[in-house]
Amino acid sequence: MTAISEFTLLLPGDPVPKGRPRVYRGHAVTPKRTVQAENRLEAEFRRKYPQTAPYQCPVRLDAEFWMSHKGRPDLDNLLKLVLDGLNGVAYLDDKQVVETHAFKRVPDPWAYGAHGRYRKRKSGDPYTSCGHEYEPHLYVRVRPLPEWTPTV
């Protein structure tokens, strides 16, 4: 197995939040969309880092969620999916994640129009954040924190 100083992943497309499990006849069932998104994240990790062992020390996780729409989902549900999706592959267990930094970007409400003025954003306009174009995606970085010690 190979030791890597940090893991990075970029998944194109709209980030997916962790869905609430539904209970059927006393059994909790994870929504199919959540399972597919977690499997996609794990598969991409294994494709990019095939011979890598998960970190066994405390880690920091950075996540950027570049969305195609405003409003839902909440940042915490987006982050939960990443934490669970990388369980067992980037780190042994998500309890090792002792530090996080996450942000969610949504498209600007205004777009630059053909007449040189800003107008309300319409369907089909490019996605922009602070005037800079982007495509919806998820970016994740996981770094070990071997010097980390808990404070009492």
Question: pTM for the complete prediction?
Answer: 0.89
Cα–Cα dist 139/116, whole Å: 33
| 30/36: higher pLDDT | 36
The model's confidence at residue 29, banded by pLDDT at 50, 70 and 90, is confident
Q: Facing residues of 108 across strands?
A: none
Q: Would the pLDDT of 68 be above 90?
A: yes
CATH of domain 7-144: 3.30.1330.70
Instruction: Give the CA count within 13 Å in the CB-facing half-sphere of 60.
Output: 12
The model's confidence at residue 109, banded by pLDDT at 50, 70 and 90, is very high
Cα–Cα dist 38/66, whole Å: 17
Closest Cα to residue 144, out of 48, 58, 52? 58
